[in-house]
Amino acid sequence: MMIDTEDRTRIRQRFLKVDASNVADVLDELGYPDQGLSCEFQRQTGSERLAGWAYTIRGQMTPYGLGGDAEKMKACANLSAGDVSVWAGDGEGICYFGELICIGMKDKGCVGALVDGGVRDTSWISKLDFAVFGRFRTPVQSITRWKVNAWDVPVYLTGATGRRVIVSPGDFILGDDDGAIVIPQAIVKEVLEKSEKLTEQETAVRKSLSAGMTLTQALAQYGHV
């Protein structure tokens, strides 16, 4: 499914008003029960929720000399506005990126990062107001240890209810205080519309409860929310 630049921007802005929990409920309803990411994925930096289009970067533990990872630079050069850089690989204990690469990503219009590994320079990245969800923080760099070997390809991330979640380029990533979830590109618009309706329903329930309606009455009127 092709989504033009204007649509990408509008969809992202609308998802910023939707909770990941509502998206998870909608995905269950549509038959996609295993799109949630592991509870290890937590907000590392940024005040805004993570919302954007997946641009995938994959790497692995690879011994090499000092001097930088040219493939990582090539991968990041292709980021575009509204993207979330999604970092996958097998690097335990080391960071995949830090402050300086975040500056470069933000200049490209990238709106955040989802990292199946480590992040460092978090206090500096926070000053950039750049949303990063990752599994851990670490001061140990990737240089000499972990190397990018592919980008803009399907990758695996650690799942919540299954061992792995496939993230394909162009899928939508949403993360908030409850965690992060992956929405397949083919159903992004349907999930968004249903999630917005569920959000409206929850808002109505809250208002009714505040007005004195009991929870039993609310469930009878609105159904499960």
**Residue 52: CB atoms within 10 Å:** 27
Q: Is the pLDDT of residue 139 over 80?
A: yes
Identify the pLDDT of residue 193.
97
Bridge partners of 130, per DSSP, are: none
pLDDT in tens, 82-101: 999 999 998 889 999 899 99
More confident residue, 220 or 3: 3
What is the separation, in whole angstroms, between the first and last Cα of the chain? 30
- The answer to whether the beta carbons of residues 114 and 40 sit under 8 Å apart is no
pLDDT the model gives residue 224 = 63
Task: Look over the chain and give the mean of its residue pLDDT values, rounded to a whole number.
Answer: 91
Q: What is the pLDDT of residue 90?
A: 87
pLDDT of res. 4? 77
| Residue 148: per-residue pLDDT | 96
Q: What is the pLDDT of residues 159-181, one digit of tens each?
A: 999 999 999 999 999 999 999 99
Q: Quick one: pLDDT band at residue 208, thresholds 50, 70, 90? A: low
- Please report the pLDDT score of residue 214 as a whole number: 72
- Number of Cβ atoms within 10 Å of the Cβ of 50: 24
pLDDT confidence tier of residue 3, bands split at 50, 70 and 90: confident
H or E element at residue 85 = strand 83-88
The average pLDDT across 186-192 equals 97
Q: Examine the pLDDT at 225 and tell me if it is beyond 80.
A: no
Q: Show the beta-strand stretches assigned E in 89-193.
A: 95-97, 112-119, 131-137, 146-151, 155-158, 164-167, 172-176, 179-183
Q: Report whether pLDDT(187) > 70.
A: yes
Confidence tier at 2 by pLDDT (50, 70, 90): low
